[in-house]
Amino acid sequence: MKRILLIVAFLMAVAFISAQGETPMVQAGTVTTVQQAKLAGLDTPVSLSGQVVNRIGDDLFILKDDTGEIRVKADAGSISKLHLEPDSRVRVKGAMEPGLALAEVEAVSLSVN
């Protein structure tokens, strides 16, 4: 069982490294699409508009635009105050931060469109 887990982990690491070599990272300026945000480096400023797909706990939700989906981490009070629910249209300003396994935006401000 341990051998299988090690093989799977190795293959995932190789796939991740290979995928990063195929797509250039967005470097300068504020990114405005989910696709650009997923390619952006740490602390890259983002300004995204889209639709809430679903909430994950009190401080996390999935945002979708025409280019894809991304996790957004925000202050739980901000999310509750704006009554963010699935299908809410929202604008997120913040910066990219490392997630556990996925790209994630650390929101500085949220507003409902």
- Tens of pLDDT, residues 37-54: 998 888 999 999 999 999
Backbone angles phi, psi at 61, to 5 degrees: -145, 165
What residue spans define the domains of the chain? 25-112
pTM of the model: 0.72
Cα gap 51→54, rounded to integer Å: 9
User: In angstroms, how far apart are the furthest CA atoms of the chain?
Assistant: 50
Among the four given CATH numbers 3.40.50.150, 1.10.3720.10, 2.60.40.10, 2.40.50.200, the one describing domain 25-112: 2.40.50.200
Cα gap 27→79, rounded to integer Å: 29
- Tens of pLDDT, residues 52-97: 999 998 999 999 999 999 999 999 888 888 888 899 999 999 999 8
